[in-house]
Amino acid sequence: MKVAVIGGGSSYTPELIEGFILRAGQMKVDEIALVDIAAGKTKLKIIGELAKRMLKKKGLSTKVTITFDRVAAITDADFVLTQFRVGGLDARANDERIPLKYRVIGQETTGPGGFAKALRTIPVMLEICREMEAYAPDAWLINFTNPAGMVTEAVHQFTNVKAIGLCNVPINMQQMTADILEVKREEVNMRFAGLNHLVYGTSVHVKGKDQLDVLIKRIAAGKNMNMKNIYDAPWEETFLQALRALPCPYHRYYYMMDDMLEEELKTSREKGTRAEQVKKIEQALFMTYRDPALDIKPLELADRGGSLYSEAAVSLIASIVNNDHAIHTVNVPNNGTITQLPDDVVVEVTCMVNREGPQPLQIGKLPTACIGLIQQVKAFEQLTIEAAVKGDTQKAYLALVANPFVPSSKVAKALLEELLEINRPYLPQFELKKQASSV
């Protein structure tokens, strides 16, 4: 069994290595191929060496390969994991900071930030998929690269690769729910439905009892249902009671748009945007990783965010390899699962996973109070994907207009121009289009 990790030089990789170590008893991995672009050479080497030390310490025979040849890494892989970041943290900083100039939430996965990231990322992902079609046609693509939902949807619509989009939000919501209800994570029967970073917990049962009301009460009373990288604005009890569903931490950007914007403006002034903060954390992390004596995942990695990330990824791979029929909430083609959305879009839903991959549990109709927002954001996503693949400026414009954070077509236009300009090195599809149309 061979696992290729694209963006292998990411600071997250030690998490992933730890995940494989923890499941070594269930699943034997022969090779982990870490691949990155030339610009990430130093980082990749540091990570590669740390990974080797971590595996060695546990006496595992898994071979770690370091390469800058993506095709070589992909060839004959059983699983391809994608966690690359086109343009690096500098591009993310732009994604976050530029919208704030227009009093629009700067967020790298939803809103105009996620939009710009999708434009940069999707073409690269489709290239990777072309290579997979040629050199590893039976491999599974496990994608964490954000915006994970849109990227996975593009793969399903434009390639033949078997792809699963993965996010650590649902697994964390389940863990936090278990913590709040004071039971183990496996004791909570939870159903999730929605889009990536716009997913709702639609039911919560423990030992056959509906615990949604209890959960709502405790969250409103201050119990934690948030993730590291999101401002922890409190949920109001009457709202959660009316909604009768558990919003994900990212829902704050929609349901508390005014406060979240003010907080982002304040933080970006005082501490820099999240990307700028992460940059510092990453530098420190790599200093730590470099230490030849380090042969475990360092505790500081927790500050980086990404809680339960490797648990989600490695347990998903184990479910496929071991045909264990476990429950995972992942991004898959809708295909009628949520009947109010088109068949060919990607949704984030609870699945049973076996050797044939994720089998979504049927949902039917989501409540009216949830579906309107989901449909609006899905329209934004579809327009963004079309713009990203075709280099279509008009669709890009309409995507931003459709985004709930953008107050007007005027702001959308200004934002679009600025985002296209600053991301120009990463958006060849738009340049080619312009040349073509100028002929």
Residues that bind a second copy (CB under 8 A): 189, 203, 205, 207-208, 236, 238-239, 241-243, 255-259, 323, 325-327, 335-337, 339-340, 342-343, 352, 354-356, 359-365, 368-369, 371-373, 375-380, 382-383, 386, 394-395, 397-398, 401-402, 404, 407-411, 413
The minimum distance between CB 104 and a second copy, in angstroms, equals 11
For residue 121, the minimal CB distance to a second copy (Å) is: 20
**Would you list the DSSP string of 25-88?**
TT----EEEEE--GGGHHHHHHHHHHHHHHHHHTT---EEEEES-HHHHHTT-SEEEE---TTH
Dist CA 428 CA 120 (whole Å): 9
CB of 359 to a second copy, least distance (A): 4
- Shortest Cβ distance from residue 155 to a second copy (Å)? 18
- Please give the single-letter amino acid code of residue 288: T
| Minimum CB distance to a second copy, residue 41 (Å) | 37
Query: Can you say whether residue 63 is alpha, beta or left, with left for phi > 0 and alpha for psi between -120 and 50 degrees?
Result: beta
**Are the C-beta atoms of 207 and 187 separated by less than 8 Å?**
yes
- The reply to whether 250 belongs to the active site is yes
CA-CA distance, 261 to 269, in Å (whole number)?
A: 12
Q: Catalytic one among 250, 289, 309, 397?
A: 250
3-state SS record for 298-349: CHHHHHHCCCCHHHHHHHHHHHHHHCCCEEEEEEEECCCCECCCCCCCEEEE
Alpha-carbon torsion angle 105, 386, 137, 79, nearest 10:
0
Residue 31 DSSP SS3: strand
Q: Which of the 8 DSSP states describes residue 147?
A: S
**How many other CB atoms are found less than 10 A from the CB of residue 193?**
26
Q: How far apart are CA 439 and CA 150, in angstroms?
A: 32
Closest to a second copy by CB, 64 or 406 = 406
CB of 272 to a second copy, least distance (A): 25
Interhelix angle 309-322/13-22, nearest 10 degrees: 40
Angle at 357 between CA 335 and CA 54, to 5 degrees: 135
Helix H or strand E segment including 142: strand 140-143
By beta-carbon proximity to a second copy, the closer residue of 296 and 326 is 326
Instruction: Indicate which residues carry an active-site annotation.
Output: 250
